[in-house]
Amino acid sequence: MATERTLSLIKPDAVEKNCIGKIITRFEDANLRVVAAKMIWLNKKDAEKFYSVHKGKHFFETLIQFITSGPLVALVLEGDNAILKNREIMGATDPRKALPGTIRGDFAKGVERMERNIVHGSDALETAEVEIPFFFSERKIFAERNVQTS
Ligand code: CMP
């Protein structure tokens, strides 16, 4: 199995609900390792850049408004098949369709608004390769091989 890295965002709704730790536990329990982490409040310009693939879509403005409404936690997760595994743990993008036992199914239960879906995760290797450097330079990612002993 391939070791991959994926970008995860614990979004402002999750931060507001005080469940950062519980969400990270879900990742760790699935053998995904946090190799980079930071809390950041995105400004409009950066949010529009991060979500530029959705520019022009009907939900773009509400998505940008929401993602800039408070701080979020950005993580790099590393592990076997990290991208697909993370997507399975997160559950369906639409909180109304996310199954119980998934992060969105449990933490966005009863939520009607699609942008308020608790977490974001890279959807493919090529996306992760763009999304990870958006938040972290390589030297801020502490995979086992990067750990200094001196
Ligand atoms: P995320 O994984 O962060 O990727 C893009 C986000 O856009 C997605 O999660 C949702 O929060 C949001 N989104 C996608 N589709 C819709 C939609 N139809 N209406 C509102 N928000 C959407």
Mind listing the pLDDT tens digit for each residue in 19-46?
999 999 999 999 999 999 999 999 999 9
Using CB distances shorter than 6 Å, the residues near ligand 1 are 54, 59, 63, 93, 114-115, 117, 120
47 CA to centre of ligand 1 in angstroms? 13
Q: Which strand (E) or helix (H) includes residue 132? A: helix 125-135
Q: For a substitution probing ligand 1, which of 48, 52, 107, 114 has the most ligand atoms within 8 Å of its CB?
A: 114
Whole-number average pLDDT of the chain = 95
Burial 83-109 (b: 16+ CB within 10 A, else e): bebbbebbbebebeebeeebbbbbbbe
Q: How confident is the model at residue 149 (pLDDT cuts 50, 70, 90)?
A: low
Q: Mean pLDDT over residues 87-107, rounded?
A: 98
Q: What is the mean pLDDT of residues 47-68?
A: 98
Contact between 55 and 49 (Cβ < 8 Å): no
Distance 25 CA to ligand 1 centre (A): 24
Where are any strands of DSSP class E within 32-147?
33-40, 72-80, 119-121
Share of the chain above pLDDT 90, in %: 93
Identify any residues that bridge with 95 across adjacent strands, giving them in sequence order: none
**Both structure tokens of 19:** 């469940």
Which of the residues are catalytic? Answer: 120
Report the predicted TM-score, pTM, of the whole model to 2 decimal places: 0.95
